[in-house]
Chains A and B, each alone.
Chain A
Amino acid sequence: AQSVAQPEDQVNVAEGNPLTVKCTYSVSGNPYLFWYVQYPNRGLQFLLKYITGDNLVKGSYGFEAEFNKSQTSFHLKKPSALVSDSALYFCAVRVGRSNDYKLSFGAGTTVTVRA
């Protein structure tokens, strides 16, 4: 079965420090990977995706993610975290048939950025 795992329930960093949120995947074939963010009492917002091409993907709000095929990882990164980045982050992978656009989500990682 195709799935993603987020090994950390929580990540705490100080403002201005680098932020990394980890995600590993298990898929057969080429993975289509996504990151979403959920701010308190809001729906999920798309951050970025990896479909093909460059292993470093740039997305919204200064976030980027690095696809690593040998380590089956797709970690989300931000060079300098802001207090406003405090939120719940989800990694997801597309599952299903070629025209079946379903996503399987990880359990989520709560990011807290302290001032």
Chain B
Amino acid sequence: NAGVTQTPKFRVLKTGQSMTLLCAQDMNHEYMYWYRQDPGMGLRLIHYSVGEGTTAKGEVPDGYNVSRLKKQNFLLGLESAAPSQTSVYFCASSYSTPSRLAFLLYNEQFFGPGTRLTVL
């Protein structure tokens, strides 16, 4: 199993350009997440998805859009990149279940290797 993969690994954009980050997972997880990591601020949730065809806003959603057309993929889009969006972006996925026992056993999130984005 590849786990969680992200493409691309690095990208440099000019202000105003657009791009899409792709996250893929092969663990059949229902839940997927996009985070950004900035020095001294930990990880902040941008958007997340609780299943195919559904998305929701996280802590810092402005300037980003997402889509979950297939269960295994979660796309993060920047329509008009800004220097403030320079960051490292991480995708994660997790198992979900209404079963409390299964949740206790299997609920940690699995992270991809990250995408380093620089906006000039």
Interface residues, chain A, CB within 8 Å of chain B? 9, 32, 34, 36, 41-46, 49, 51-52, 90, 94, 99-108
Contacts and interface: CB of A to CB of B under 8 A. Distances in A.
Interface in B98-120: 98, 103-104, 107-114
For chain B, give the interface size range. 20 to 34
Among A9, A90, A103, A107, which residue has the most Cβ atoms of chain B within 10 A? A103
B33 interface: yes
A99 B96 contact: yes
Among B40, B59, B111, which residue has the most Cβ atoms of chain A within 10 A? B111
Contacts of A51: 104
B107 A101 contact: yes
A99 B98 contact: yes
Nearest to B4: A43
Given A43-B90, A52-B104, A108-B42, A103 B109 contact: yes
A63 to B, nearest CB: 14
Contact of A42 (B41, B104, B113): B113
Nearest to B35: A105
Given A43-B113, A99-B50, 6 more contacts: A9-B40, A42-B114, A43-B114, A90-B42, A104-B45, A107-B41
Contacts of A106: 42
Contacts of A107: 40-42
Interface in B70-119: 90, 92, 94, 96, 98, 103-104, 107-114
Contact of A102 (B48, B98, B104): B48
Contact of A45 (B42, B48, B58, B111): B111
A43 B114 CA distance: 6
A105 B45 CA distance: 9
B45 A102 contact: yes
Contacts of A42: 113-114
- Which 4 residue pairs are nearest across A and B when measured between Cβ atoms? A43-B111, A105-B42, A46-B108, A44-B111
Among A34, A43, A99, A104, which residue has the most Cβ atoms of chain B within 10 A? A43
